[in-house]
Chains A and B, each alone.
Chain A
Amino acid sequence: METIAVYWEPKIRIYGLTRQVGLSLYSVLFPAGRLAYWGGRIRDLAANGRDFELVNLQTVSAETLQFCLLLAGVDNETLVRRLLEDGLAHEDATSLQTIAPVALIYLHGPHFQDRYGIAEAALSPMQKADIPVLAAGCSGTSVYIVVPEDRLDVAATCLAETFVI
C-alpha cells in the first residue's frame, strides 16, 4: 500500500532551541585498528560518573578514525585528559585535541529524519555568518551544533531566522 502526503510550511518548525554552555570538546585521532581499545577508554570515563552531551565518530582517512566527545564541565578537564592521554602514550599515530569552553545549541523537529533540507538549513547560515562549527550531528529528529562559547548568541540568532518554534 502506498500513501502520498504533502506537507508544506513557510518556515521549518521545531519543538525548541536549547543552549548549553560550559562544555569541553575532546577529539581523539587514532588508528582504525585501535577502535576496540578506544571503546574501552570511553567506557573507563563512565567510571568517573560522566555522561556525554554529543558524540560523533568519523573515518578521516583509510587508516584513521576520529572520536569526538562533548562533555559537560570544564573544571574536570585535567581528569578527562589524563584518562585519554593514557591511551596516547604508546601510540605514535594518535593525538588529542581539547577545545574549551564551547557551547552546544540543539533543536528537534517533526520527522526531521525523513525530510530533506534540514542539515542545509541548519549549517549554511553558520557558514554565511562565519561561525566556526566545531562539531555537529544530525540524526534522528535532532540537530546538534557545537560553537565557540563567545559565538553562541550569533549562532542562536542565525538559527532563529531559519527555524520557528
Chain B
Amino acid sequence: MKIGIGGIRFSPELVQYAHHAVSPADRSLTDLLRRLAEHRINLSFACTSVVGETVHSTFCLAAGDFAAVEMLLDAVPSQDEHASCRSPAGAGDPGGPSLRARFEITHRVGTLTIFPHRRSLLLLGHVVETLAQAGIAIHSMCTSISALAINIDYLQLDRAVEALDKIVELPENHAPYRPELCIRQIALPSFRPNSDMQWKQ
C-alpha cells in the first residue's frame, strides 16, 4: 500500500560542501558561514552532527553562487582565523592552505523535497530504501518541521520520482516538481534603512 503525501519539489541546481572538524576550536566552518552571510549568499540546506570528537557538516547553495564562493575559499584567512582553523592536516597554518583545503565539494546536486513527513519513520525508511535500491546515491538529507530534504545528483531527480512512485501517492492536482520562481539576492550598496523602516519596495 502506498503512503499518501502532499507533494514533491525539486530545487534548482546546487553545489554541496562537506566539512569535517576534528577539534572544537576549529572555526573554519563558522568563518566561511560568516563570509557567506557577509556576501549575501544563501544556504538552502545545512546540517551537522557529531561522531566521537569529529563534527561533520554539510551545506548546499545555488550553483550560480559557486564562483563567488570559490573566491571566498581562496581568500587567505585573517590572523584570528589562522589561529582557529589549524587542524592535524595543517590547514590554516600561517602562509599555508586557504579555507578551500577544509571543504569537499560535490557539483550538480539537487534537493528532492518530500512533504509532509509527519515525523514518520515508516515513510523515511521506505524513501531511503527505495532510492538506494534504485541505485540513487543520497549525498545528504535533513528534516524540517514538515519536509524531508534529500540531496541527490541533480540529473537523477526525475528518476528518483519514478522510483518513489512505487511507494508514495501524490495528490491528483500536484504542482510541477520544478520551481517556477527563482529567488536571488541582489546587491544594494546604497540601501541604508532607518530605524523605523520595516519594508521598502
Contact = CB atoms under 8 A, between A and B. Distances in A.
Interface of A: 4-10, 27, 29, 32, 35-36, 38-46, 50-60, 65-66, 68, 97, 106, 108, 113-121, 123-124, 127, 130, 132-142, 144
B37 A121 contact: yes
Contacts of B143: 52, 54-56, 137, 139, 144
Contacts of A4: 186
A142 B145 contact: yes
Nearest to B115: A140
B59 A119 contact: yes
A141 B144 contact: yes
Contacts of B118: 51
B149 interface: yes
A83 B200 CA distance: 55
B49 A123 contact: no
B199 A139 contact: no
A117 to B, nearest CB: 4
Contacts of A66: 49, 51, 56
A119 B51 contact: no
A114 B183 contact: yes
B127 A39 contact: yes
A27 B188 CA distance: 43
Contacts of A65: 138
B124 A55 contact: yes
Contacts, number: 193
B37 A120 contact: yes
Contact of A60 (B41, B51, B126, B149): B51
Contacts of A114: 42, 183
Interface of B: 18, 20, 24, 27, 30, 33-34, 36-37, 40-52, 54-59, 111, 113, 118-122, 124-133, 137-149, 183, 185-186, 188, 191, 193, 195, 197-201
A60 B121 contact: no
Most buried by B among A44, A114, A117, A142: A117
B45 A39 contact: no
A35 B20 contact: no
Most buried by A among B30, B36, B127: B30
Contacts of B147: 139-140
Nearest to B58: A58
A123 B28 CA distance: 13
A114 B12 CA distance: 12
A59 B58 contact: yes
A57 B140 contact: yes
22 contacts: A8-B197, A36-B129, A36-B133, A39-B126, A39-B127, A39-B130, A42-B121, A43-B121, A46-B125, A50-B121, A51-B119, A51-B121, A58-B49, A59-B18, A60-B20, A114-B42, A119-B33, A124-B34, A133-B50, A138-B45, A140-B146, A140-B149
